[in-house]
């Protein structure tokens, strides 16, 4: 599935990870590079290169946080919002193709189990952060 998505995104000179970063910003799931790293479990150096690329393309902006000038907030530009929305159908089509051999009941079961797994991973991550003091 990843290769299908990457191929479709290549026409826009983007990768799935580029889109994922913009989608997290678009949905308000992250506002800073540090939040993105934690949310998507991605290397900070690699994420910085992605942010630089998206910034140069005019999809995101770095802005100083008005409450804490030490912090840099990432914001999608109008162009970035448009590209996120325009590429959603590619993701939806790939996901639909991936589950096309499953019944509705199997999809419901899969969804339920994945949500339980995500919840378990989230709790584990929170516990690790608490133990490490980060």
If asked whether residues 78 and 125 sit together in one domain, one would say: no
**pLDDT at residue 62, rounded to an integer:** 93
| Those residues with Cβ within 8 angstroms of residue 38's Cβ, 6 or more apart along the chain or in another chain | 125
If asked whether residues 81 and 49 sit together in one domain, one would say: yes
If asked whether residues 64 and 112 sit together in one domain, one would say: no
| Residue 64 structural domain | 2-98
If asked whether residues 47 and 92 sit together in one domain, one would say: yes
Domain count, the chain: 2
If asked whether residues 85 and 27 sit together in one domain, one would say: yes
If asked whether residues 71 and 128 sit together in one domain, one would say: no
Q: What is the CA radius of gyration of the chain?
A: 17
If asked whether residues 73 and 122 sit together in one domain, one would say: no
Q: Are 21 and 36 within 8 A, CB to CB?
A: yes
If asked whether residues 51 and 117 sit together in one domain, one would say: no
If asked whether residues 23 and 86 sit together in one domain, one would say: yes
Q: Which tokens belong to 72?
A: 């840099």
CATH code of the domain in which 58 resides: 1.10.10.10
Over residues 4-26, the pLDDT tens digits come to: 788 888 888 899 899 999 999 99
- pTM (two decimals): 0.76
If asked whether residues 54 and 119 sit together in one domain, one would say: no
Q: Are 43 and 34 within 8 A, CB to CB?
A: no
Handedness of CA 46, 50, 51, 56 (dihedral sign): positive
Q: CA–CA separation, 106 vs 37, rounded Å? A: 32
Over residues 47-92, the pLDDT tens digits come to: 999 999 999 999 999 998 777 777 889 999 999 999 999 999 988 8
């Amino acid at each position: 599935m990843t290769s299908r998505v990457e191929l479709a995104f290549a026409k826009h000179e983007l990768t799935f990870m580029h889109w994922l970063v913009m989608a997290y910003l678009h949905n308000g799931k992250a506002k800073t590079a540090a939040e993105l790293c934690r949310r998507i479990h991605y290397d900070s150096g690699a994420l910085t290169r992605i942010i630089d690329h998206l910034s140069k393309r005019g999809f995101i902006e770095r802005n100083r946080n008005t409450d804490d000038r030490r912090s840099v907030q990432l914001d999608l530009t109008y162009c970035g919002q448009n590209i996120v929305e325009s590429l959603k159908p590619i993701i939806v089509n790939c996901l639909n193709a991936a589950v096309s051999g499953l019944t509705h009941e199997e999809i419901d079961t899969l969804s339920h189990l994945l949500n339980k797994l995500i919840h378990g991973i989230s709790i584990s991550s929170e516990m690790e952060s608490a133990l490490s003091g980060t």
